[in-house]
């Protein structure tokens, strides 16, 4: 610098140069990162299917399987070793009926799996069964149908109460009502408290959108929805964001311990708004369609799978999620565990 030169206008003093200096090495980037992803941020969604002897791959979700009880326990122990704190469990029954009786049967696949998991991992893993009827009904809807073929909200709440009690009795730490019925959180909280399960929490699917990104999931749980699959009467319109805040506020007022935004990536604006609105923990679900797009693109060489996994999950956390439900959970946790500087 020559005598009389203004330091503020010199090459090295440009504000952009200050930013670039902090990006210069991996260590500098790690030190100044605003958002950090850890195994403890993740929840692994797992499927357990009744009546199979070997894990069965889900064709539309490369790397995802329907587990046997035995393989489910192996995966649960792996999650514990990787530092993943929780799993979200979906049961796939061998028989279905109009009222989804298997969902509340003490000997139903979800309850059997919960008891086995609790025996295998104790309290080292948070067990969260999905609480809905669509996996268990022969019509594939999330509730009881009235004589016109529409979902009967109040009749469905009675079934949800029964399912919640069965899941809590089998060892659930949290139950996760996903059907988007009006009043579901309050009804479930009352049922749990009445039956003495005051310590069982509720992770509520509070802002669940009527999304096109659920397709692969329906294969994973063998669900075919009667009447073309329209759930827009009770799931949220993708065009709306403000109503999500109303739904979330209602669930918190009814006793939800954690609220969820689903899907994640197409609704990061909603996730950020919910984070500003409530103080309870927030989960976001990186759903089957989000995962499938990434997985198939990586198979074709269009994306780097690891980089895309970390980028998407970090963006979800950056938007405000405390917890992320993702089919990438174990994979990412393994990378973080084996390469802690990642």
Average of per-residue pLDDT values in the chain:
91
Convert the pLDDT of each residue in 246-287 to its tens digit: 999 999 999 999 999 999 999 999 999 999 999 999 999 999
Active site residue 96: no
Instruction: Tell me, letter by letter, the H, E, C secondary structure of the chain.
Output: CCCCCCHHHCHHHCHHHHHHHCCCCHHHHHHHCCCCCCHHHEEEEEEEECCCCCCEECCCCCCCEEECHHHHHHHHHHHHHHCCCEEEEEEECCCCECCCHHHCCCCCHHHHHHHHHHHHHCCCCEEEEEECCCCCECCCCCCCECCCCCECHHHHHHHHHHHHHHHHHHCCCEEEECCCCCCHHHHHHHHHHHCCCCCCEEEEEEEEECCHHHHHHHHHCCCCCHHHCCCCCCCECCCCCHHHHHHHHHHHHHCCCEEEEECCHHHHHHHHHHHHHCCCCEEEEECHHHHHHHHHHHHCCCCCHHHHHHHHHHHHHHCCCCEEEECCHHHHHHHHHHCCCC
Active site residue 208: yes
Is residue 1 scored above 50 in pLDDT?
A: no
pLDDT of residue 339: 80
Convert the pLDDT of each residue in 44-67 to its tens digit: 999 999 999 999 999 999 999 999
pTM for this model (two decimals): 0.91
Convert the pLDDT of each residue in 20-50 to its tens digit: 888 888 888 888 888 999 999 999 999 999 9
Topology of the domain comprising 37-338:
TIM Barrel (3.20.20)
Domain ranges of the chain: 37-338
């Amino acid at each position: 610098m020559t005598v009389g030169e203004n330091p503020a206008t010199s090459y090295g003093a440009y504000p952009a140069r200050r930013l670039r200096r902090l990006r210069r090495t991996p260590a500098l980037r790690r030190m100044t990162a605003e958002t950090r992803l850890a195994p403890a941020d993740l929840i692994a969604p797992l499927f357990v299917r009744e009546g199979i002897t070997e894990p069965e791959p889900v064709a539309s979700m490369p790397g995802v399987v329907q587990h046997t009880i035995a393989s489910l326990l192996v995966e649960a122990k792996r999650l514990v070793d990787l530092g993943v704190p929780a799993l979200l469990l979906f049961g796939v029954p061998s028989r279905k009926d109009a009222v989804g009786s298997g969902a509340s049967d003490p000997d139903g696949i979800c309850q059997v799996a919960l008891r086995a998991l609790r025996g295998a991992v104790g309290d080292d893993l948070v067990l969260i069964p999905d609480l809905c009827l669509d996996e268990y009904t022969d019509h594939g809807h999330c509730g009881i149908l009235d004589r016109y073929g529409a979902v009967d909200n109040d009749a469905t709440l009675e079934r949800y109460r029964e399912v919640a009690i069965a899941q809590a009795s089998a060892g659930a730490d949290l139950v996760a009502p996903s059907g988007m019925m009006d009043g579901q959180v309050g009804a479930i909280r009352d049922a749990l408290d009445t039956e003495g399960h005051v310590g069982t929490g509720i992770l509520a699917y509070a802002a669940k959108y009527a999304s096109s990104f659920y397709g692969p999931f329906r294969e994973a749980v063998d669900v075919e929805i009667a009447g073309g699959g329209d759930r827009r009467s009770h799931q949220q319109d993708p065009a709306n964001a403000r109503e999500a805040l109303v739904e979330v506020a209602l669930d918190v007022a009814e006793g939800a311990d954690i609220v969820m935004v689903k899907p994640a990536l197409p609704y990061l604006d909603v996730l950020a708004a919910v984070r500003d609105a409530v103080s309870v923990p927030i989960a976001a679900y990186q759903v089957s369609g989000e995962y499938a797009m990434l997985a198939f693109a990586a198979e074709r060489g269009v994306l780097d799978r690891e980089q895309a996994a970390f980028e998407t999950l970090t963006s979800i956390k950056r938007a405000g999620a405390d917890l992320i439900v993702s089919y990438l959970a174990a994979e990412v946790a393994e990378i973080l565990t084996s390469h802690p500087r990642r």
